[in-house]
Structure formats: structure tokens, C-alpha cells
Amino acid sequence: MSPTARSKPAAKPAAKPTAKPAAKPAAKPTAKPAAKPKLAIFGAASCGGCDIAIVNIHEHILEVAAAFDIVLWPTVMDGKYSDIEAMEDGEITITLVSGSMRTDETVHLSKLLRRKSKFMVAFGSCASEGCIPGLANLTPRKEILDTAFSTSSTDNPDGIRPVWEFEAPEGILHLPEFEPMLRTLDQVVDVDYTIPGCPPESEQIWAALQAVVAALKGTGPLPPKGSILGAGESTVCDECARKRDVKKIDRFVRIQQVAAFDPEICLLEQGLPCNGPATRNGCGALCPSVSAPCIGCYGAAEGVVDYGARLMSAYASVIEATKPEEIDKILDGIPDPAGQFYRFSLAGSLLRGSRSAWQSDGE
């Protein structure tokens, strides 16, 4: 494959017309399969917020239940992996994967579900770009485990660490291995659609599901492979009610440093590093509307290769200083650049994480 095929823009061909599969004539309704389409909702390394967001579509959930035969949704109903394994390839019509690829178990199941599903959807920030858990990619696995298993709150005098294989009297137990680096869904399997957000806004979820249902009924068009569903193509500012002027930033402040911000004016113009300009719209600019800066959970705008790079470029461009030392003084207002620019998108970014994380090579 050519390097371009590997590059991120290639992975998000959404806007490009040639992305569409060759046009096919609408098939006759009779051609529709009798059985209800099957739906799987799988939470990998996730906080469960995505599931709550789905349930949060209120009574519409019933319409979903009516439209689909839900074959897997560990959060709300019992389900066995074996049942999935038993299925035909492609038997599941659509699978929503929330959460990121953190253990070899999640990787394995994602691959399994991919095989069994017609459509694979990266659901929410974790699955699509790594989200907060992705920040673990700044640290070698060993350090993460050390921290997790030797904090003051942990009672672990012998400094025991988890083992991935354990010889029990009953035989060898395999535990899900915590992988050296966290990955996004599309770094593990082929993904058809992405629904961004941490979590995705419920009305957006419903809109997306409706689109899919309509498509399945043949009454609506099928979104082209790689489409971002349930979000806009612009950025949060597009939906932000705050008044915007030209940007001239002479300082960056952290929200706790300022008593009150002007409720009318763009937060960035007030020195608060708001990620809105670079973050895909769809949330309705919730955070800025309550004077909290956008932290970027909806990920990058349409066609953007690296979220953090875009945001860095934007911030740096509007700094009001021409002398290196002045510039540095202003930049000191952003004490944690990696966290500021890659809070949600680190695992999905060009570099995916820090050098120490991958150099430690799992140790």
C-alpha cells in the first residue's frame, strides 16, 4: 500500500465525492431481508458515559429496540461472547464500539465484532481518537502500573503487579493484558462511521441512528464510508453565541486565575485557552455558553490531520509578540501543552503518544 493510504487524511475521506461507492439502483422493497437488522453496542475501555448518552435519547430508545434486534449490549443486558462467535460473518448489521483499545481482550473482541458486522461505528471520543484514557500514551506502561498499584490508597505491601497468565489449580488463567499503548478503534480494525463526542450529544445520536434506520429501510441515503455522523463539519465557534473580534492575545490565563469572564465576549480573546476554534461542532457550544472553555471532546474539524497541530498553529498565530522572550512569557500561560492540545486526541494524533511510551516497548 502507498504511504498515503497510511496517512490520516486518507483515513477520513468523508468530504470527497469519489468516496461514494459506485451508484447502485435502489433495490425493490421486496428485496429487503425479513429479519430485523441486528445491533451490537460494545463498550471497550470506556467510562460508560457513552451508554448513558445512548439511553439518554429517552423514549426513542423504544424505537431503536423496535427497529433492531439488539444482540449485544453488556451495559444493559446479558450477552455472551460465544453467541457472537457463533454468528455468521456480517450477520450483525451495525455495531457501535465505544471506548478505546486498551487491553488485548478489547482488541480481540473488536476484531471479532468487525468480522461479524456489516457496519462498524467508532462511537464517542475514546473509540475515535483515544479521549482522556489516551493521555496514558504519555507514560510507559510500567510507570502506569506502578502508579496504579502503589499509590497511597493501594494496600499492596509486596508491590504485586498483575500477571497476564496465572497458573491456578484449575489450569492456566488468561487475564486481559494491558497493552503497551492505547489505540483507537480505527488503528485496530476497519471503521465505517465515526460518531464523535465525549459523550456524543443524545439528540445527535438519535439523528445518526435515524439516518441509519432510514438507510436500512431504503428510505434514506447511505452515508459514505468514513463519514462522521452526528456532528457538523465546522467548529464549535460556529455554534458559539459569544461575540468575536479579531484575535490579539497578550496572555493566557487559567480559568481559576480569573474571578469572572465577560459573558458576552469570546473566551479566547479574554486569554482563556478555549479549544472551540479547532473543535468539531455538534455539541451546541455547551461549555463556552457557561463560561467554561471548550476542551475539545468532539475532536478535529472535517479533513484536519492533527487536531493539536491545528490548535497550536492557531494560538501561536494570534499571540501579540515579536521577541522570542516576550513570546515565551506568553506561552508560559500554557503550562501543559500536551494536555492542552491533545487532551482528547493524543492516541489518534500523528505521533500517538510520547517517545518514552513506545520506546519502553511494553516494559
Partner 1 sequence: MTAEHNHLPVEGEIRIGVYVCHCGSNIAGVVDVAEVAKWAAENLRDQGVVVARDYKFMCSSPGQELVTDDIKEYGLNRIVVAACSPHLHEKTFRTATARAGLNPYLCELVSIREQDSWVHTDKAAATVKAKAILAGGIERVRRNEPLEPMTVDINPATLVVGGGIAGISATLEIADAGFKVYLVEKDASIGGHMAQFDKTFPTLDCAACILTPKMVTAGNHPNVELLTWSEVEKVEGYVGNFTVTVRKKARYVNEDLCNGCGVCQEKCPKKVLDEVFEAGLGYRKAIYTPFPQAVPRTPVIDRPNCTYFEKGTCKACEKFCETNAIDFAQEDTILTLDVGNIILATGYDLFDARKMQQYGYGHLPNVFTSLEFERLSNSAGPTNGAIVLRDGVTEPKSVAIVHCVGSRDKNHNTYCSAICCMQSLKFAHLVKEHTEATIYDFYIDMRTPGKGYDEFYQRIMEEGGIFVRGKPAEITDVARAPEEEGKLIIQVEDTLIGRQRRFPVDMVILSSALEPRADAKELAVRFGISCSFDGWAIEKHPKLDPVATMTEGVFIAGCVSGPKDIPASVAQGAAAAARVLGMIQQKRMKLEPIKATVNAEHCSGCRICNTMCPYNAISFDDALGVSSINAAMCQGCGTCVAACPAGAIFGSGFSDEQVLAQIEGLMSVGADGLPQRRSAFPATHDEATQEAVRA
Partner 2 sequence: MTTQAPEAPAPVEVVAPAGTFEPVIIGFTCNWCSYRAADLAGTARVKYPPNVRLIRLMCSGRLDPTFVLKAYAEGADAVLVSGCHPGECHYIEQNYKAMRRFQLLQRTIEALGIEPGRLQLVWASAAEGVRLANEIARVTEEVRALGPLNWPAADLVDLDTFSLEKAWEATGGDVEGPPKAPAGANPDHPKEAAK
228-287: contacts with partner 1 (CB under 8 A): 233-238, 244-248, 266, 268, 276-278, 281
Question: Which does residue 247 bind out of partner 2, partner 1, none, counting CB within 5 to 8 angstroms by kind?
Answer: partner 1
Residue 199, preceding bond cis, omega within 30 degrees?
yes
Question: Which does residue 244 bind out of partner 1, partner 2, none, counting CB within 5 to 8 angstroms by kind?
Answer: partner 1
User: What is the distance between the alpha carbons of residues 44 and 110, in angstroms, rounded to a whole number?
Assistant: 8
Smallest separation, CB 294 to partner 2 (Å): 13
Q: Is 45 in the site for partner 1 (CB under 8 A)?
A: no
- The residue among 3 and 171 lying less far from partner 2, judged by its C-beta, is 3
Q: Is 2 in the site for partner 1 (CB under 8 A)?
A: yes
Smallest separation, CB 105 to partner 2 (Å): 17
Smallest separation, CB 181 to partner 2 (Å): 9
- The residue among 5 and 66 lying less far from partner 2, judged by its C-beta, is 5
Q: Is 303 in the site for partner 1 (CB under 8 A)?
A: yes
Gap between the terminal Cα atoms of the chain = 31
Residue in 314, 321, 331, 338 binding partner 1, rule: CB under 8 A: 314
Smallest separation, CB 353 to partner 1 (Å): 8
Question: Which does residue 152 bind out of partner 2, partner 1, none, counting CB within 5 to 8 angstroms by kind?
Answer: none
Q: Is 10 in the site for partner 1 (CB under 8 A)?
A: yes
Smallest separation, CB 23 to partner 2 (Å): 6
CB 344 within 8 A of CB 132: yes
User: What is the distance between the alpha carbons of residues 78 and 142, in angstroms, rounded to a whole number?
Assistant: 34
**Which of positions 182-211 make contact with partner 1 (CB under 8 A)?**
183, 188
Smallest separation, CB 207 to partner 1 (Å): 18
What is the per-residue binding string for partner 1 in 108-147, x denoting contact by CB under 8 A? Answer: x---------------------------------------
Point out which span in 37-45, 79-87, 211-219, 309-317 binds partner 1 (CB under 8 A): 309-317
**Which of positions 91-110 make contact with partner 1 (CB under 8 A)?**
104, 107-108
For every residue of the chain, which 3-state class applies, written as one string? CCHHHHCHHHHCCCCCHHHCCCCCCCCCHHHCCCCCCEEEEEECECCCHHHHHHHCCCCHHHHHHHHCEEEECCCCCCCCHHHHHHCCCCCEEEEEEECEEEEHHHHHHHHHHHHHEEEEEEEHHHHHHCCHHHHHHHCCHHHHHHHHHCCCCCCCCCCCCCCCEEEECCEEEECCCEEEEEECHHHCCCCCEEECCCCCCHHHHHHHHHHHHHHHHCCCCCCCCCCECCCCCCEHHHHCCCECCCCCECCCCCHHHCCCCCCCECCHHHCCCCCHHHEECCCCCHHHHCCCCCCCCCCECCCCCCHHHHHHHHHHHCECCCCHHHHHHHHCCCCCHHHHHHCCCCCCCCCCCCHHHHHCCCC
Smallest separation, CB 95 to partner 1 (Å): 19
CB 40 within 8 A of CB 81: no
- The residue among 70 and 207 lying less far from partner 2, judged by its C-beta, is 207
* Cell 429517552 -> residue: 58
Smallest separation, CB 62 to partner 2 (Å): 22
Question: Which does residue 162 bind out of partner 1, partner 2, none, counting CB within 5 to 8 angstroms by kind?
Answer: none
**Which of positions 160-179 make contact with partner 1 (CB under 8 A)?**
177, 179
Q: Is 288 in the site for partner 1 (CB under 8 A)?
A: no
Residues 6 or more apart whose CB falls under 8 angstroms from that of 76 comprise 51, 55
Contacts with partner 1 by CB under 8 A lie at 1-5, 7, 9-11, 13, 16, 18-19, 104, 107-108, 177, 179-181, 183, 188, 226, 233-238, 244-248, 266, 268, 276-278, 281, 300-305, 310-311, 313-314, 317-318, 352, 358, 360-362
